[in-house]
Structures are given as C-alpha cells and as structure tokens.
Structure 1
C-alpha cells in the first residue's frame, strides 16, 4: 500500500460512481407516442416491473431500488476470499433508499464526496445500462428513450456545474447514425465532458454494425474535435446470446442464480470485442485525437487483446496503417477492478493510462472508495507519483484538465 486513504495528500478523482435512477428517469421527458414502445414502470401488486417495448425486463429486478444493497458488501465475493462454509448469499445486505438521499440527489452526494475525500467523480447510470439491449429491436424507441434519459440526467445531476465535482455522462446510442450526431451536439451544447457508448455491436435495421463502421465516423469526429472522451461501461451488451448457444438463458437477470458457464464463456468478452472493433476497423487511424476509457470491465482483457492484435497485424500487415498495439496504448484508458494486478497493467500499457474507480455505491464495489490504494503495489514498485497519477492526475488529463494535476494545484475542496 502506497498511502493509507486518510493520508493521501490530495483529493482523489473516482471515475466509477453511480446514481440509482428514479422510476421516471426514462419517462419524465419521453414523447407520448413512445409511451408503450419505450420504458414503462408497471405496478404488479407490491412490486414494480420495468417494461421495455411492452416486455418485462429483468436487468434490474427491482427498479425502485428500495430496498437497496449496501456499498461494498460483496467485496469478499469479488475478491474470491469467502471463508469456507460461508454462503455467498449471506453477504448481501440491504438498506432503505430513503436513508440515502445521496444516491439520487446531487447536493447530498457532494456532501458525501467531501467526507470520502473525492474532488471529482464520473457519475454513471445503473438501470440505464440495460435499456439499449431491451429496446434494440425498435431503433426509433431507442433513440427517443435515450434522449429522454439525457434530458432527465441534465435536469437532476447536470452535465456542467461550476463546482466541477460531478461529471455526469450522457448516453449516446449509435443505432441511428444521424440521430446519434444530433444527440452528440445536444449534450455537448449542454456542457457534457464525458459520454457513454454501450460496449456492444450496434443494432441496425438490416444487420448489426461494428463500432468501427464508417457510418459512426461523424460521432467520433465530433467527440474528438471537442476533446470529450468516450466511456465504455459494463452493460447488457447482448452477449448472453452466446450463452444461449450452449443451452443457457439469452436474457440478463440481475442478481439471479446463474450458470457458472456464463461467466466462463462471457466474462470480459464484450469490452475485448469493443476495443478490437475500434482498433481493427481503424477508428483511431481516422480520428487520431479520440480518447476512450473502459470502466468497470476489469483489465485482463488487455493481455488477450494485445496478443490477438499482434497476430492480426502479422497476418494482414496491409490492413493496418499504424501499429494496433500502440493505438491501444495511446488512445485507451483503463479503470481496472480493485482486485486486478495494477503493476502488470502498468507494465503493459503504462501507468499514465490507469484510472481509479470504486463502483460506489454498488454492492460489488468498495465501501470506502479511496481504499483502492490498498490494492496498488507498495513503494518502490509503485512510486508515490505513480499512485497519484492513478488516483487523480490521469483522470484529469483524460478530461483535458491538466491545470489541476500539478502538485501545487489549488483543490476545489480544502485538503
């Protein structure tokens, strides 16, 4: 451990914070003509069900988020450190949503950030990570629903607040390329500093498309021009279709008992394929200033991807105008899981491309965000400057805010 959280001589920047959406996040601004085609919340006795395209969707089994899981209570499960004889289900602990206004209220969240010694956080969705997959067969409804969500997000959390504490990331759905460009212009006009794109093949009317399909170039070009990075956060990427080929379920059900084969087959396959599509289909060659960041996808996909990119370049050197592995190291930032080998990742892509993300307040994240430092190697293997890069400076460089990375920079909150 380089520094204990209470001794960090600076405030950290956490790239993986979440809110819990209210039930009207997708409906508050949804046009009436999409009421049935988009997201609906339907009462079923004492339960509330999420309907997407008039079908019940189980990505989030309780879309009211009440009760809600306690932050970090599944830590031992995800570290693989559950004591013998302990039922993993016993680790699940819940609380009332009403006890935690910071999960849905910006001002309350800022107060918590002060206590957690976080200067800035990237604020990301929970329920919304499953909506594009639920609506993928209706492109019009997808685009209308995402726009409605982005209106809600700006209204409740804000894209561009003067205090700079919360960087809320709107969603850009690529299913309709023309409307995607309109949405990019809309969120940039409201001050977005980061956008989210689903790590998945892009649904199409005729067939799915690669993220590297030239039809998406206007989106990448505009974001590159604006210096706004693209985040790829763990989502329902539709990859359970692969599990279904092996006799498993084709749809995601949050917190349900799953066949362990699903994890073996899928794991980080979606983010691996996402980055492969961007690199192999030459997105960074055409848009050399575009920046992307992988959040809550772990880091072990990087090593498999590098091996396969090298092989592809050897087999088809005529295809690659630039070294694909160098493109990965130049354009891609990674927020590893806290249990990942941070030193191995630094040796592979460089410490400048590693970010700190806690996944707070999710149960599989860290109960205290800056305890992430406990999983960073000790000095001298990792210097104090390297730890600061991971915990703060790299994220600010990603956002194009280098003035806050200098050792003597003024912080927004007193340390």
Structure 2
C-alpha cells in the first residue's frame, strides 16, 4: 500500500512537471520531469526486486540518474552559476562523477558499491547546493529556504534507511521505504520552490512592465500602442491654448472591445489596440496628435480650424479603417466598431478640460444612437451632425 501511494505521488509530480514544461518550455522543468521519472523507475524496481536479482542493478542505475537530474535541476533553480561560479564548477564535477557511476551501475550487478558511491555523491551535492542556496538567499529568498528544507528531508531519509550498503545480508525491499520517502519529500518541496520562483519571476515582470509604462507615460508615449499618452495630450493641448491656436478634439471609442479580450485573450486585444492606433495615425497630418487615454479610448488633436464637413469626412475614414480585420497569429480578428465625439476650440470649450467634456458628451450621444453616423459634434443632435 505504501509503495502504491509513493509511486502515485511520484507519477503525479512528474505530470505536474510536464504541465509546467509544456506551459513555459524551459529546460529547468525538463530536468524536474526526468528526476521524477528516474526516481519512479528506480523505486518501482527496487521495491519489486531483491538486491541480488540480476535486474536490480538497472534500478540502481536509474537511481543514480535521478541524482544527476536532481542536481542539474537544482543548479538551474538556485542559479548557482550566477551567484557562485566556483561552486558551480564543483557541482559540475559531481555531475561527471554521477555519470560515471551510472555507467558502472549498468555493468555491475552487485548494488553495494553503487549505492555507497551514490550515497556519498548525494550528500556532497546536497551540502554544496545548500551553500549555493545561502549565497542566493537575498535574490531568491523563498527558493533558497525551500531547497534547504527539502535537502534536510532527503538527507534524513537516506540516512535513516537500512540499505544493503550498511550490512550483510542485504535487506529486503521494505528497507527502501525511508529513502523513498526522503526523495519524494524533497521532490515535493522542490515543486513548491519552483512555484515560488515562478511567482517571483512573474512579480518582477509585472513590476518591470509597470515601470516601463510609467516611464513611457512620463515621456509622453503609451508603451503598448506607441501613441501619445494622456500626459502628452494635455501638454500639447496646454501649449496650443497658450498660443491661442484653434484646434479640434476628437474622442474615439471602440465599441464592444471587451469581447475581443474574452474571445482572444489579452494578447489579441493588445494587437487590435496597436493596429487601431496605427490606423488613426495614418488618417491625420504631421501636426496632429493621436493619444491613448484609456483601455479602448483614444483622442485626436487636430490643428487648425477645419470645416465640419472635413471633420465628418475624416470620421468616416477612421470608421472604415477601424472596421478592417486585424491579423493576429495567423488569424483575422474583427476590427473595432468605432464611435466618435468631436469638439472644437474655442466654440465648444475654452480649456482642454471643458473641451474634453464636450467631446465626451458628444461621444455618449453618438453611442446612444441606434441609427445614424458613427460620430457626433458637441452641442448638436444626430440629424444636424449627419448633415455636417
């Protein structure tokens, strides 16, 4: 019963490792899967074969390969090469020794010397890796703590086990239970350490993304779309107001954009936003400005005092460009159904805030319309807006 439960745990850990390998595609998870697989093969053989069985040495070889894969996995998990290069060279030497031991185990049917060397190499590698964990504790606090805890459990298990290396005649299959428990306990702890490492990496990536967006925003640029940020729009609008220049403001909103994220995920939604921003820039002049104000909301500052007919024609071109499908990962995603609210300075506002309020009011009026054009001018009904 104990053997069945242990083998089930090892198989479950191997499946978890495979899932992580498929999701992240990194070599560290491949080493974890191999470590679980060799441990399962080794203990399945040692639990069902007597130490003197002609096939037992193959199970011992699998156990040596578990130790090698576990060592390689831990090196990558703790980033020993980065934090302690000389220590990493010593660990590579132990990997070579484990490889030679595995070759010896395949040709030597007696388990005594194989298990003795394996025990010494596992203890030495665990001690050196614990030193590496201490050196990496500031950068990888939880990973280092969890590895050390797993190492203690492993050493306790293999030290308490009555393996054939400590006496003759060889003990039966039950003598491997404590060693098996130690190996499984460490693999469980390492799985938690991997989760802690992944969480730390994701948090670091999120913090980096936030800093990038903040920096780009301070520079006046939206990091995702390359459009001007709200701060850039406000700065340009304030400059034009100080200079007394006439200009128009067009608020642009993507209707039903949340459905794109629901169907195609955040990556698909980001692709649509970037494409829409590029198409908006293609419809304006060099002196005009396209800015992203929110998730699916853009604004366009148009220099000068164009006739309303010209603004209406531009709105129609923007609507047509926005409706064009967006290529994403070999598929065509539906473009944005666009609504626009247009306000002109100084007629619709003498400050940028009032101008934006007028344009947003026109945008809301446009979105409430079931029929009519995709744009509306501030202070006008849909019928007059349609006539431009």
Give the TM-score band, short-chain normalised: under 0.3
Q: Which has the higher contact order (CA 8 A, sep 6+)?
A: 1
- TM-score, structure 1 as length reference: 0.20
- TM-score, structure 2 as length reference: 0.22
Higher gyration radius (CA) = 2
